[in-house]
Amino acid sequence: METKLIKINPDKLTKESFKEAADIIRSGGLVAFPTETVYGLGANALDDTAAVKIYKAKGRPSDNPLIVHISNVKDMEELALDIPDIAYRLAEVFWPGPLTMILKKKACVPYATTGGLDTVGIRLPANRIARFLISEAQTFIAAPSANLSGKPSPTMAEHVYKDLNGRIDMIIDGGKAVYGLESTIVDLTGELPVILRPGCITDRMLESVAGRVELDPAILQKTPMEGLRPKAPGMKYRHYAPEGKLIIYEGNIDRVIAVINLEVEKKLEEGHRAGVIATDESLRLYSCGIVKSVGSRRDETSIAAGLYKVLREFDEAHVDYIYSESFADNSLGQAIMNRLLKAAGYSVVKI
Ligand code: TXA
Ligand code: MG
């Protein structure tokens, strides 16, 4: 299959520029498109054969449900039953934006889309290209992150091209994803809202609107040994593991830098390739190996936005060992550490 790559300027959206992409979605094909979190791999959410194609293109297990993207708050009523009041309040504050709500599904949503569940994840994205595509396609768009299963989520069209060229019909390049981490998922089907996946809408932000919010205990575990089963099916998979061994160093930052420097030196002497995940502040304090800044500690959003790109770059450099600094795990840091710990297979050295 030939994958067509088109570029759309988010400041100049015309019906004409979306015609081909919308036709592909309507006829059951696959289009990767930008969202404010990560790039999504879209198909008609109401067409089960189209949804099945997503799993095939990504090499994704079919029990892992897809998030359905809508372009108007009202659309959630087409997809969900018994919508609680809290869903409307959260939508008012956080939509359009990086929040996915789990609700009871209506019969029109095929089980192929929900991975066999009676619930459906719904998100109204902030990215204007994403919303324009959904409304031009005149349906709802099921879209997981547009990476091959097991790779970091794509934050740029180049990442999508690398993973999915030849496997999907079209990629829309709309520039870099602003947030760089997948949406916060909140389950609204129980007594209290439960966060199933941390993201840029933090627990505090949700609590300011919803009152008490619980956190799926599986999110907080520091080692998989605790054996808790995450409620979002996708969170149970060993997500992305870099080619090299990734180890996180936690503790006083000056000591962390000193210890990482010694480790890298040792690995280089042994003839290995080694890399360091640093920040703008520490970049110059590392003396050897491939050193990359993930962002600035003064602005956590820059770290969220840079993480997946840096992990992909280390894979391309074929390093054997990657040493990473650690980040505070509150607020947005909770989402950053959740993804970093998974990538490291929970390998943490405390200093
Ligand atoms: O930011 C995002 O959410 C991106 C963009 C493209 O919107 N999408 C994304 O999709 O990250 P994906 O498929 O990579 O991750 C979706 C996660 C999975 O962990 C899945 O198990 C969970 O959402 N999920 C989807 N529907 C669910 C449901 N009904 N119940 C529980 N978890 C659900
Ligand atoms: Mg994903």
pLDDT tens for 230-265 read 787 777 666 788 889 999 999 999 999 999 999 999
Q: What does the pLDDT read at residue 238? A: 62
In 3D, which of 298, 291, 301 has the Cα closest to residue 333?
A: 301
Q: Which atom of ligand 1 is nearest to the CA of 146?
A: 6
Q: What does the pLDDT read at residue 217? A: 86
User: What is the DSSP code (8-state) at residue 169?
Assistant: S
Q: What does the pLDDT read at residue 224? A: 65
d(CA 90, CA 125): 14
Q: What does the pLDDT read at residue 32? A: 98
Cα 66 to averaged position of ligand 1 atoms, centre (Å): 5
Report the nearest-CA residue for atom 6 of ligand 1: 40
User: Which residues in the chain are classed under CATH 3.40.50.11030?
Assistant: 245-350
**pLDDT of residue 330 exceeding 90:** no
Q: Ligand 1: residues whose CB is within 6 Å?
A: 35, 37-38, 40, 64-67, 98, 100, 102, 114, 117, 119-121, 123, 143-145, 182-183, 185, 196, 232-235
Q: What does the pLDDT read at residue 219? A: 82
Which residue type sits at 21? A
User: Which residues in the chain are classed under CATH 3.90.870.10?
Assistant: 4-215
Q: What does the pLDDT read at residue 203? A: 95
Q: What does the pLDDT read at residue 290? A: 98
Instruction: Tell me the longest C-alpha to C-alpha distance in the chain.
Output: 62
**pLDDT of residue 326 exceeding 90:** yes
- Which phi and psi (to 5°) does residue 261 adopt? -55, -45
In 3D, which of 304, 65, 328 has the Cα closest to residue 187?
A: 65
Question: Which ligand minimizes its atom distance to the CA of 231?
Answer: 1
Cα 147 to averaged position of ligand 2 atoms, centre (Å): 7
For residue range 138-171, list pLDDT tens digits in order: 999 999 999 999 899 999 999 999 999 999 999 9
Class of domain 245-350: alpha beta
Question: Which ligand minimizes its atom distance to the CA of 127?
Answer: 1
Average pLDDT, integer, range 281-309? 97
**pLDDT of residue 226 exceeding 70:** no
Domain 4-215: which topology? DHBP synthase (3.90.870)
Cα 38 to averaged position of ligand 1 atoms, centre (Å): 12
- Whole-number average pLDDT of the chain: 95
Could you check whether the bond before residue 96 is cis, i.e. omega within 30 degrees of 0?
Answer: yes
